[in-house]
Structure 1
Amino acid sequence: MELLCNAPAHASVPDRYVFPPEKRAALQLDGVDGPDDGVTLPVVDLHRAALSGDDGLRRRVAEEIVRAGKEFGFFQVVNHGVGEDVVRGFRDAAAEFFAMPVEEKMPYCSDDQSKPFRLASSTSYDKSETRYWRDYLKLQCHPVSDELVRHWPMEPTSFRPRLAEFSEAAHELAQTLLSLVAEGLGLRADFFAGDLSGGETQMNVNYYPPCPDPSLTLGLLPHCDRHLLTVLSQGDVAGLQARYNGRWLLVRPVPGAFVINFGHQMEIVTNGALASVEHRAITNSAVARMSVATLIMPKMECRIGPAPEMVDDETNPAKFREFVFSEFMEAYNTAAASREDVLDSFRIHRD
């Protein structure tokens, strides 16, 4: 398997990474900065007080999250309670892993999506011969158990304990956010608890090396997430873009923040109130970029459909049929992550 993280620096982009002009990014980054388009994602201050007894403040934070979600599908959160040492600890350990000699990483290389820990390149949803400028780790990260941890690499020595610590913290934050989303929508606080968020939590650690000509490449294809909620640590290097009003909005890093976005299951359960928004990754020529995405999944056997509270037969009828999550996963893979193609399999079409 070819890995970008072990390749010598390229003077030019190899042909296999060059996209046709119609698929290239219209907005490119030069280093960590990009053009200012005048629109930025909302930054929600979670205020630890909002989570510890101040009902009025908690209600305002919940409403702010839902407003941000309805307009953008993405927002950033600060004062979230995850320590900077926890975030930095795992990011440093993951960077050490990518920097290891190729022979030490090769045992983890695999395109077998059933493996609980694997290293790969480009993306499994790429149906063309053109490759994305990306290496990645895909792993199960929660609930943490001895059986799960034994699949994680022993080197660097900090990797296992730092991953376990980060995974627990990110999962707790996700559950807090799901509770706030529910309250902001007028649902009971534990609406998303149980099977809807109780699947095996996945993590993608994406590594994008410097690219000699970002105008020719993409880091990751435009897609929507298949699960319920994503908690993303993107570090201090920009590269994530979200679709907004028909154009691509650069998600600028905010110190200490997590980027939050909703997956397809959130859109379906809320009957379209909170949409899953298309996003992609672009490359830059100056520095490597690494993002850590924690993906909150339903259980495979979970039955999913619009919540009755989000449906009104006269003014807002159900937009999606009920299904089992495993069926959705199959449709997502078949549709190669295409937003409209996958959702069309579950929409209720009315004359």
Structure 2
Amino acid sequence: MAAAIAAVTPEKEEELVRVQVLAESKISKLPERYIQPPSTRPTPSSTSRSPSSIPVVDLCDPQSDWQIDQACLQWGAFRIINHGVSVDDIKNIALGFFRDTPLEVKMRYKCPDVGFASEGYGSLMVANSEVVSDWRDYFDHHTLPMSRRKVENWPEFPSNYRKIMAEYSENMKKLAQRLLSIISKNLGLKSSYIEEVIGDVHQNIVFNYYPPCPQPDLVLGLQAHSDMGAVSLLVENDVCGLEFLKDGEWVLAHPLPDAITVILADQTEILSNGRYKSAIHRALVNAKLSRLSIATFYDPPKSTTIAPAFELINSPNSHPQYRGVTYGDFVSNWYGDGPDGKRTLDALRIFSK
């Protein structure tokens, strides 16, 4: 059972470090730091599109490569089924950490600081006090390369937690490589192109926990943003909350059992010279139910320079749409400014005269 939670008032909000603590205190009014400005709050129109609009690709379908190409062109995101990865164990240990672990035990794994994807148990995404806080707790695991993997930073409960995490990391690496190979070929590049550019992949696996919120219409679990790296792979429980921005409207992506959501990230948009777009997405919260998502980020090392593929700009009619950037600089700018759509990527765009 989780540890007893003391009553929390808005006046004590500065003492709070975890959203779950705040949610379980049964407050009726939110602290100001979580309240979104009216322009970014969830809107009723976000459910206007059919959930079937989100592309679903069966990886056993002979047409799956073409379907992925169309999804990358039109959405920058899609769901895959028959992907060969078991997701039940990883969801179970994630829920166990947040729901069944006493707070004082969870705090043994707290992040040492905020920003730059610090490993461990945290709440704040960025240190910038001007950025509205998300209604979310998380646990960030540094899984690849092996030089970053320090299993002593991961929980020991249940006894197979670390084994499950290591196996899931390897399976998701193989799946990401398979998808990036397809994406490379669809762009007219050799199948290993994106993988070779990325090099020694940096993989983080993040458990996101969105507790019930007393005023869900005023907050976001995760603010609108595109991911920074190459590709992200997302697993969810059965609670709605993931939205994508499509043609100026927010589209709610209803969970699909055992599916994995593939989200193109900013470095793939740069590499493709804008042919494929990274997907702007956000997370809503619920008044009664908690939501879980598990995000696997597949990113380049900080020292890697990303630029449009030469083969895609080497013609009289093709020009680079983005300046090259060192990935570490891109990440620093993203965290420094906080999430806001594609602000960091947009700063790299080259506008024709």
| TM superposition score category, shorter chain reference | 0.7 to 0.9
Answer whether contact 1:143 1:200 (CA < 8 A) is retained. Answer: yes
**CA deviation after TM superposition for structure 1 residue 218, in Å:** 1.0
**CA deviation after TM superposition for structure 1 residue 219, in Å:** 0.6
1:189 aligns with 2:191: yes
SS at match of 2:338: coil
1:14 aligns with 2:34: no
**CA deviation after TM superposition for structure 1 residue 101, in Å:** 0.9
Answer whether contact 1:300 1:326 (CA < 8 A) is retained. Answer: yes
Answer whether contact 2:116 2:335 (CA < 8 A) is retained. Answer: no
| Alignment equivalent of 2:259, drawn from 252, 257, 260 | 257
| Alignment equivalent of 2:84, drawn from 81, 85, 88 | 81
RMSD after superposition: 2.3
1:41 aligns with 2:54: yes
Per the alignment, residue 109 of structure 2 pairs with 108
CA distance in 1, matches of 2:81, 2:331: 31
Give per-residue Cα distances to partners, 1:182-219, cap 9 Å, x unaligned. Answer: 12222111112234153320122110011122112111
1:96 aligns with 2:113: no
**CA deviation after TM superposition for structure 1 residue 143, in Å:** 3.8
SS at match of 1:321: coil
Which amino acid in structure 2 is aligned with residue 20 of structure 1? P
Answer whether contact 2:126 2:336 (CA < 8 A) is retained. Answer: no
> In 2 relative to 1, CA 147–280 (structure 1 residues): closer, same or farther, beyond 3 Å?
closer
Per the alignment, residue 31 of structure 1 pairs with none
Which amino acid in structure 1 is aligned with residue 233 of structure 2? V
**CA deviation after TM superposition for structure 1 residue 139, in Å:** 2.1
CA distance in 2, matches of 1:288, 1:337: 23
**Percentage identity across paired residues of the two chains:** 31
Instruction: Number of aligned residue pairs: give it.
Output: 333
Answer whether contact 2:114 2:124 (CA < 8 A) is retained. Answer: no
SS at match of 2:164: helix
CA distance in 2, matches of 1:108, 1:63: 43
> In 2 relative to 1, CA 129–74 (structure 1 residues): closer, same or farther, beyond 3 Å?
closer
**CA deviation after TM superposition for structure 1 residue 11, in Å:** 4.8
Q: Which region of structure 1 is more displaced relative to structure 2, 167-176 or 112-121? A: 112-121
TM-score (norm 1): 0.87
Answer whether contact 1:127 1:336 (CA < 8 A) is retained. Answer: no
CA distance in 1, matches of 2:158, 2:289: 22
Would you identify which runs of 4 or more consecutive aligned residues in structure 1 move more than 6 Å? none
Which amino acid in structure 2 is aligned with residue 65 of structure 1? I
**CA deviation after TM superposition for structure 1 residue 314, in Å:** 3.3
